[in-house]
Structure 1
Amino acid sequence: MATLRTLDRGLEAINVISRASDGITVQELATALDIHRAAAYRILETLESRRFARRGTDGNYRLGSGVLAVSHRFMAQFRVVSQPVIQGLANEVGMTAFLSVEDSGEALALAVAEPVAIESLGIRFQVGFRHPLRRGADGIAILAQRPPRDGDSEAVRTARERGYCVTSGENQPGAVGVAVGLGEFDALQIEASVGVIRLGGLSDLSVEDVLPHLDKVRGELRELLVSS
């Protein structure tokens, strides 16, 4: 498939900048893109004019506010297309289903659905609900997708080994949930997890029965991310 070379380089430049936590110099970008320094400078000037990049006082370039605005719009659009998938999951398993994404170090509920055939059982899990990543099946499932670190909790290590996370009573007393991560950030450019939650204890949730449904929905959501 033919691509617009200049546009492709500009988009790749945004990708390169996003990976540089301390910012990136003109020469570093030129090296990463295998282009002349002057060409890298023109790309950065263009990105800066559109607020997709900004130059700091140290001379390094970092992502600009324009990227954040696009990110928020993407999240809104992704929620719309993912909501029917999450609703289908809720109907299949008869529990509250959710899609959570990483946002500023927290797990943010992007889409939530209740099963249509079952009356609400008082699960306090709604769109916009957020909590630290280290707590709750959705947050721990996201952390488990990251490379191992010395400071990983036992819950994260267990979830990484199993491929899923189960928690009880962490974000809502008397509720149990299970979640799986959608995949590594490098593949999707987003950190997310999908899962279900219900009232009860660990013995009330059949993980073996739920996991096939979560695996199927994970694949559907990954397809939506790749095609979005």
Structure 2
Amino acid sequence: MEVTVRDSAVPPSDMVSSVARALRVLEVVGESPTGLSPKQIARRCDITIAAAYRMLRTLAHQGYVMRRADGAYTLGLAVADRFRELVSAMRGPAEVGTVLRRASAEIGYSHYLGSFVDGRIAITAVAEGFRSPHVEDLVPGFDEGAHATALGKNLLATLDQAQRERYLKEHGMRAFTQATLRSHTALDADIAAGMRRGMQVEIGQFRPGVACASVSVQTAGDLSQRFVVACALPAVDLVKQAPMIRERLHATARTLQAALNAPLTAAHGAAAA
């Protein structure tokens, strides 16, 4: 199976420039939580001030930006609405969220579902646990650091070596901590050890003092149909409780597989009837 550059990374021949500029305005506004003036937005987007005003008025009318009393613009509530819809779509069946929350409540550690989204390894669902360190980056849609997280390693393990090398070449191997693996050879060896262990792990490779463990939910089919489940916990807890964590993750994976396949099974049953 070929792993290619995302379609969205290649500009279409019929790209609508005005739409692209409006989205760039949204990105620029989003990068500044304190707000930006229309002149600042125009300069950063390399558009005229008149064009910036037109786009901002349209985006404000639709709720995607808000104009403050001082004239600066920030993101609007419609962005939050779209994010909630994205989280729901990425999570899949509602039962998936129930399974993750139950698993998190039982052992107290945050649980994550991961898959390939538009060719990138991403977190698609999260259930926070009270015993896990809070890692602000680990939210639905997070698609960085596949080489530094157990969730990412598990999905990378579903690729053959050539596919994995292409993925890592495209997305890089950023050093999140001093323990982050930076070479393909070291990562391949780590993934192979995880496959023998029956659980991918990382300790302090993404955040100091934080560990992550992950097992497969399903690994066959198209990239978008491959899922893994992971939990994050203090590094010392993983060292002490690795066998228990592996057992609980595998149990959760079996329940998640049933939840993810339930709509497909129901659809086939309805078609047969």
Shorter-chain TM-score tier: 0.5 to 0.7
Deviates more, 1:132-141 or 1:151-160: 151-160
When the two structures are aligned, how many residues end up with a matched partner?
161
Rg: which structure is higher?
2
Tell me what 2:100 maps to.
Answer: 86
- 1:96 maps to which of 99, 104, 110: 110
Residues 100 and 108 of structure 1 are in contact (CA less than 8 Å); yes or no, is this contact kept in structure 2? Answer: yes
Tell me what 2:70 maps to.
Answer: none
Counterpart AA for 2:122: L
- Structure 1 residue runs of 5 or longer lacking an equivalent are 1-18, 23-71
**Identical positions, percent:** 18
- Hey, what's the Cα distance between the residues in 1 that align with 2:243 and 2:249? 10
Tell me what 1:145 maps to.
Answer: 158
Q: TM-score, normalised by structure 2?
A: 0.50
2:200 pairs with 1:165: yes
- Hey, what's the Cα distance between the residues in 2 that align with 1:111 and 1:75? 10
Tell me what 2:140 maps to.
Answer: 127
- Hey, what's the Cα distance between the residues in 2 that align with 1:21 and 1:139? 15
Residues 91 and 125 of structure 2 are in contact (CA less than 8 Å); yes or no, is this contact kept in structure 1? Answer: no
- Structure 2 residue runs of 5 or longer lacking an equivalent are 5-85, 166-183, 264-273
Tell me what 2:219 maps to.
Answer: 184
Q: Shift of the alpha carbon at 1:180?
A: 0.6
Q: Shift of the alpha carbon at 1:154?
A: 1.0
- 1:175 maps to which of 195, 203, 210: 210
- Gap change, CA 1:135 and 1:104, over 3 Å in 2: farther
- Hey, what's the Cα distance between the residues in 1 that align with 2:225 and 2:89? 10
- Hey, what's the Cα distance between the residues in 2 that align with 1:126 and 1:154? 28
- 1:213 maps to which of 236, 248, 251: 248
Residues 180 and 194 of structure 1 are in contact (CA less than 8 Å); yes or no, is this contact kept in structure 2? Answer: yes
Summarize the alignment of residues 4-153 of structure 1 with structure 2, pairs less than 5 Å apart.
75-76=89-90, 78=92, 80-115=94-129, 118=130, 121-124=133-136, 125-147=138-160, 153=188
- Gap change, CA 1:121 and 1:111, over 3 Å in 2: same
Higher helix share: 2
Q: Shift of the alpha carbon at 1:86?
A: 0.7
- Hey, what's the Cα distance between the residues in 1 that align with 2:132 and 2:196? 33
- Gap change, CA 1:77 and 1:94, over 3 Å in 2: closer
